[in-house]
Homo-oligomer: A and B are copies of this chain.
């Protein structure tokens, strides 16, 4: 499967790759002075090229959309409509993304999920739509892309 499909899907839900790249950039800039936004964009695209990542995103967005259309069976519909804080399946799904780049991404995921910078905050505050899964998935994506940068810069260092 091509990442083009998943990128379109994210766009249809209001999230541009650029917006995720910016979160990565702000997160990693303090550690790598020479970091460029373009590198962050490429890192996000590489994470998005992973099948397992695409599957998690398609699943989460489908659940958000079905909840918006009131099409989920109860009690799931009410759980998502009220963004029940102990729901947890959204974090579980996002963890599936972060895992792809090792435990290092975990810290960033938790941080982003709590602080909610950039588009994560926009999704979280959007009252016209349901983004129970999407905000966590974006945090997971940004965390994975950040972990990837940390790994690759480290590798370059050791040459």
Instruction: Give A residues with C-beta under 8 Å from B.
Output: 1, 5, 50-52, 55-56, 58-59, 61-63, 65-66, 71-73, 75-76, 79, 84-89, 91-93, 95-96, 99-100, 102-104, 106-115, 143, 150-151, 154, 158
Contact = CB atoms under 8 A, between A and B. Distances in A.
A111 B79 CA distance: 25
A115 B88 CA distance: 22
A114 B26 CA distance: 14
Nearest to A69: B71
Given A92-B92, A115-B111, A75 B5 contact: yes
A103 B107 contact: no
A92 B91 CA distance: 11
A96 B106 contact: no
